[in-house]
Structure 1
Amino acid sequence: MRGRGSAAHIAAVAGAALLWSTSFAVTKVVLPYVGEVTLGAIRFLGAALLLTLVCLITHKRLRAPMRTHIAVAAAGLVGITVYFTLENYGVALATATDAVLIVAVYPVITMVAESVLHRQAPAVVNVVGAITAFAGVVLVTLDEPAAESPDRALGILLLALGGVAWTAYNLLVARAPAAVPPNARLGVLQTTALQNLWGGLGFCILIPVLPQGTRGELAPTTAWLIAYLAVGCSALAFLLYTFGLTVLRPGQAVAILNLVPVFGVVSAVLIAGEQLTTLKALGAFIVVAGVALNAMTRPISVPNRGA
Structure 2
Amino acid sequence: MRVYYFACISAVLLWSASFIATKIAYETFAPIQLGVVRTCLAVLIFWIINKIVKNKEKIRKEDRKRVAISSLFGITLYFTLENIGVSMTSASNAALIVASFPAITSLLEFFVFRSKPSFQKSLGIILAIIGVAILTQITISGSSKSFWGNLILIGGGIVWAFYNFITRDLTNKYSALTLTYYQMLIGAIWFIPFVFLEDKPWRIPSVTSMNALIFLCVGCSVAAFVLYNFGLKKLSASVSVSLMNLVPVLGLVFSVLILGEVVSLLQIIGGIIVIIGVILSSIQIEEVSNEPNSNSAT
> Is the structural similarity TM-score above 0.5?
yes
Determine if the alignment matches structure 1 residue 172 to structure 2 residue 159: no
CA distance in structure 2 between the partners assigned to 1:101 and 1:40 by the alignment: 21
Q: Aligned pairs, how many?
A: 288
Determine if the alignment matches structure 1 residue 204 to structure 2 residue 198: no
CA-CA distance at 1:272 after TM superposition: 2.7
CA distance in structure 1 between the partners assigned to 2:162 and 2:238 by the alignment: 12
Give the 3-state SS of the residue equivalent to 2:197 in structure 1. Answer: coil
Q: Indicate the percent of aligned positions where both proteins have the same amino acid.
A: 34
Structure 2 counterpart of 1:150, which letter?
A: S
Contact in 2 for aligned 1:30/1:225 (Cα 8 Å)? yes
CA-CA distance at 1:242 after TM superposition: 7.0
Q: Rg bigger for which structure?
A: 1
Give CA deviations for 1:155-179 in whole Å, capped at 9, x if unaligned: 111100111111122222222256x
Determine if the alignment matches structure 1 residue 98 to structure 2 residue 78: no
CA-CA distance at 1:83 after TM superposition: 0.4
CA distance in structure 1 between the partners assigned to 2:171 and 2:218 by the alignment: 26
1:48 aligned partner: 43
Which one of the candidate residues 13, 19, 26 is aligned to 2:21?
26
Query: 1:223/1:265 Cα in 2 relative to 1: closer, same or farther (>3 Å)?
Result: same
Give CA deviations for 1:245-304 in whole Å, capped at 9, x if unaligned: 99x9x99987764332111111222233211223322222222222223335469xxxxx
Structure 2 counterpart of 1:162, which letter?
A: G
Give the 3-state SS of the residue equivalent to 2:210 in structure 1. Answer: helix
Give the 3-state SS of the residue equivalent to 1:37 in structure 2. Answer: helix
Contact in 1 for aligned 2:58/2:178 (Cα 8 Å)? no
Determine if the alignment matches structure 1 residue 134 to structure 2 residue 105: no
1:302 aligned partner: none
Contact in 1 for aligned 2:90/2:140 (Cα 8 Å)? no
Give the 3-state SS of the residue equivalent to 2:196 in structure 1. Answer: coil
Which one of the candidate residues 221, 233, 240 is aligned to 1:234?
221
Which one of the candidate residues 136, 139, 144 is aligned to 1:150?
144
More displaced, 59-68 or 269-278? Answer: 59-68
Query: 1:269/1:216 Cα in 2 relative to 1: closer, same or farther (>3 Å)?
Result: farther
CA-CA distance at 1:230 after TM superposition: 0.7
CA distance in structure 1 between the partners assigned to 2:111 and 2:13 by the alignment: 29
Runs (5+) with no aligned partner, structure 2? 287-298
Runs (5+) with no aligned partner, structure 1? 1-6, 300-307
2:115 aligned partner: 120
Give CA deviations for 1:65-95 in whole Å, capped at 9, x if unaligned: 3234433333222111010100001111111
Query: 1:8/1:126 Cα in 2 relative to 1: closer, same or farther (>3 Å)?
Result: farther
Query: 1:59/1:145 Cα in 2 relative to 1: closer, same or farther (>3 Å)?
Result: closer
CA-CA distance at 1:131 after TM superposition: 2.5
TM-score (norm 1): 0.79
